[in-house]
Amino acid sequence: MILRSIEMESFGRFHGQTIEFRRGMNLVIGPNEAGKSTIAEAVPAVLFGTDRLERYKPWGRNACSASLFFEGGGRTIQVKRNLITDEVELVERDDLYQPLSQFSGKAPLRGRSSSCREYRELLESLLGVADEKLFRATYFFSHQPQEWTGEELAQKLRTLVSGTAEVDYADILESLLDEHFNLTRSNPWGRDKQRDREYEEVCRELENHDPADTVPVFVEIDDSTEISGQIEALSAELVNDRLEYEKGLRYIEHVRSRQTTNVEMNPRTVQGESPAAGSAVDDDICKQLTVAGFPEEPPRNLVELLAEAAEIRQEMSTLQQPYAALGTREKKIPRVPWVVLLSICALLVVVAGAAWWQQLYPLQVSASVGIIVLLLSGWCGWRFTMSRKAQAACKAERGRLDQKKSAIQQRQSVLSERCEAQGLPSSPIDLVRLQKLVSANRELLENYWSRPAPVRLVDDVAVRDEPGPLEQGGEADSDEEVAHADELLDLEARLAEFEDEMSRKEGRLQELNRQLENLASSQRSGTAGDDTALRKRKYELESRITLLRKAINLLAGSVDEFSRSHLVRLNREAGKLFAKITAGRYAEVRLDENMIPSVLVDRRRWISVDNFSKGTIDALYLALRTALIKIRNDGRSLPLMLDDPFVHLDQKRLATALNMVDMASADGQLVLFSHNLELGKRAARERWHVVPLDGGTVDTSTGEEGGENAGQLHLL
């Protein structure tokens, strides 16, 4: 991805000006205060927003906006920002100028809204960077320190691979280890293990208070905390138990009331033992049926009802066809064109009248008119008769169909009544839905229906809820009902047991509450209180140490993982670039586990970077950063921006440095901002793209461009 142009509608000292860039090396050259830094700053300001608006807002104007155009891989990306309102418009287009993705909304620098998140995610996916600080740390080069050391370079690299602009992961690891080290001498990372820390001191104090108290590491839990935990768990359990108990009671009541109704409607006794029996309904099946969407207690004849409903629907649907055919036939019945006929007759009469008036063959004309009118009348009469016959036939057919329809509707209404009587929905749509449910849950329904029908105790008489297939009288029948009665008794017994269990739990809860109260009162007075405080502190320390250990292991593991997965590629990419910059003098670069670089010299010796000149270290740094960008952004790299980084270099070093950046730009795009007018000559020689600035105006004289995307934006 290359930066094709910056359009500054109103930004700093620029108004309505566009600065274009090319692939490869670009030189923005001009004296101090010409606006070089403003142009450089326009890129992060447009992409991420700025908190230095006053610096870029033109004096006396209430507008400040600029746009960036990127190109690459057959796509263009335009980002436009109003820096006063932070309204951003981002559009990604393909090579046919069709939008691929876009964003429009507010996205201030430190915004946390969902709109900001959406914008940053889009930036990350399109340009590979969504953080302003990280962008600066990655793509911006300014004046470097006079001398680099290997450790400084390593720190810079560690910061970049950490995924942040300022944070070296090694510093975080160090801070966590320090904290751990201050808490306990038990240290898996090989530090001083002799001197006791706070954790060991607390354990020793506890031992002094109660010699029987052993000091297990990281397992003991403070009594009060444990009791509180138990109370919390038990309370939650009891709440659930009470709900279940009430549910059970309600259910038994419900079954009893149903049974009473059934006794009144269909009184029948069962031969057998008293007390009378009841029935048990499998809660699970009922729940599953309810969850599946069935009405409560689907009747046994549900399938039969639904089959009848389906049959009625089928008949209704079959009836539609003859109705439709009849409609078509009715439309095709020939009509007599009375208006046309009368008009023709009137016209003929007028013609005959005119013939009489003018005495032009009046007899012949009148006779002809008479014959024509007669013929027309005959045709109309025949047509009228045919039409009446066809209409009568259609009417008879419609009557027959209406009769059929009415019979079906009657069946439908009878079925609806039956459904309603059994607590089922009656509308055809609901019945279709129910039929689908039945098809999908046939097995579940079979289980539900195959369970014994509920019975209950009513005044020493066992009564079945619904007559089932086995209720044809006889010994087997009565045996089964007695068994059902036993089942209900069992259920009631289980409910009673459940009640006892609840009482026991309530007792235990009261006991725990008493214990907690005792602990609290002992804490308030005397040594026991000291013990409790110590135990509490010990528990806190253990929790913190466990957390620190986990965090240290996670971070150290992630660094190892990153090194394993990325370091080889980073070394390879940096080595290739470094060889290019140094014209093949140094071919390989290696970073150790702390990111300290060394360079292969004479193809056999690895030499630490500290032994090289500043120019070589600068070149290495440039190579490493460029390689890192390549890996991090996976081909979505933005241009490198060099803001007068060579300001302190003498002529010889400057020449070397320029060679270096020229080589580095070969694979992408590099924008060098400089006030050194001598660079202009070199730019002309090397055919760089030059943007000369002169006191706020831009002269866009350009050099040649080797890139394949040259000029595309103008065409668009």
Partner 1 sequence: MTGLLGNDQIKALANEESVRGVLVRTVLEQAEDADSDELKLLENALQLLLSRFQAMEEEAP
Q: Which residues would be at the binding site for partner 1 (CB under 8 A)?
A: 117, 120-121, 124, 133, 161-167, 169, 171-172, 175-176, 546-548, 550-551, 554-555, 557-559, 561-562, 565-566, 631-634
- If the CB atoms of residues 188 and 267 are measured against partner 1, the closer one turns out to be 188
d(CA 76, CA 97): 8
Q: Which contacts of 90-99 are long-range, i.e. CB under 8 A and separated by 24 or more positions?
A: 90/119, 90/122, 90/123, 90/126, 92/126, 93/716, 95/712, 97/716
Print burial letters for 365-392: b (CB count within 10 Å at least 16), e (below 16). bbeebeeebeebeeeeeeeeeeeeeeee
3 DSSP β-pair partners:
70
Q: How far is the CB of 550 from partner 1 (least distance, A)?
A: 4
Query: Rounded to the nearest whole angstrom, what is the least distance from the CB of residue 228 to partner 1 in the complex?
Result: 17
212: how many CB neighbours lie within 10 A of its CB? 5
Give the residue with the Cβ less far from partner 1, 238 or 631.
631
Cα separation, 593 vs 228, whole angstroms: 47
Q: How far is the CB of 16 from partner 1 (least distance, A)?
A: 36
- For residues 391, 394, 396, 399, the Cα torsion angle rounded to the nearest 10 degrees is -120
Shortest Å, Cβ 556 to partner 1: 10
Nearer to partner 1, 57 or 632 (CB): 632
Q: Cα–Cα distances in Å, from 37 out to 11, 34, 127, 485, 675?
A: 12, 9, 22, 93, 11
Which tokens is 702 given?
Answer: 């350009």
CA dist 590 and 570 (Å) reads 9
Closer residue to partner 1, CB minimum distance, 183 or 657: 183
Q: State the Cα–Cα distance between residues 78 and 69, nearest whole angstrom.
A: 5
Pick between residue 6 and residue 628 the one whose CB is nearest to partner 1: 628
For partner 1, the closer CB: 165 or 316: 165
State whether residue 329 is helix, strand or coil: helix
- What minimum distance in Å lies between the beta carbon of 83 and partner 1? 24
In order, the DSSP letters of 33-90 are TSSHHHHHHHHHHHHH--S-HHHHSPTT-S--EEEEEEEETTEEEEEEEETTTTEEEE
Q: Which is nearer to partner 1, 166 or 311 (CB)?
A: 166
8: β partners: 17, 66
Closer to partner 1 by CB, 286 or 631: give it.
Answer: 631
Write down the least CB distance from residue 158 to partner 1, Å. 8
CB closer to partner 1, 182 vs 518 = 182
Nearest approach in angstroms of CB 485 to partner 1 is 45
CB of 558 to partner 1, least distance (A): 4
Nearer to partner 1, 125 or 314 (CB): 125
Nearer to partner 1 among residue 121 and residue 694 (C-beta) = 121
For residue 140, the cross-strand partners are 641
Q: Is 460 helix (H, G, I), strand (E, B) or coil?
A: coil
Q: Which is nearer to partner 1, 189 or 382 (CB)?
A: 189
Q: Which contacts of 513-517 are long-range, i.e. CB under 8 A and separated by 24 or more positions?
A: 513/231, 515/227, 516/224, 516/227, 516/228, 516/231
Q: Dihedral, CA atoms, 397, 401, 403, 405, nearest 10 degrees?
A: -170
Q: Please, what is the minimum distance in Å from the beta carbon of residue 547 to partner 1?
A: 5
3-state secondary structure at position 9: strand
Closer CB to partner 1, 172 or 432, in the complex: 172
Q: How far is the CB of 142 from partner 1 (least distance, A)?
A: 15
- Shortest reach from residue 242's CB to partner 1, in Å: 25
* CA separation, residue 144 to residues 149, 408, 610 (Å): 12, 93, 16
Hunting for tokens 């013939």 — which residue is that? 355
Q: What's the min distance (Å) between Cβ of 101 and partner 1? A: 16
Q: How many CB atoms lie under 10 A from the CB of residue 65?
A: 18
Residues 6+ apart with CB under 8 A from 576: 627
Q: DSSP assignment of 605-633, as one string?
A: EEEEGGGS-HHHHHHHHHHHHHHHHHHHH
Q: Which CB sits closer to partner 1, 91 or 170?
A: 170
Quote the least distance from Cβ 51 to partner 1, whole Å. 14
**C-beta closer to partner 1: residue 94 or 560:** 560
Q: Beta strand 2-11 with 65-72: parallel, antiparallel or unpaired?
A: antiparallel
- Burial per residue of 689-711, b for 16 or more beta-carbon CB atoms within 10 angstroms, e otherwise: bbbbbeeeebeeeebebeeebbe
Q: What angle do CA 166, 113, 79 make, to 5 degrees?
A: 75
Q: Minimum Å distance from CB 213 to partner 1?
A: 25
Residues in the chain: 716
H or E element at residue 394: helix 362-421
| Nearest distance in Å: CB 169, partner 1 | 5
CA 500 to chain centre: 48
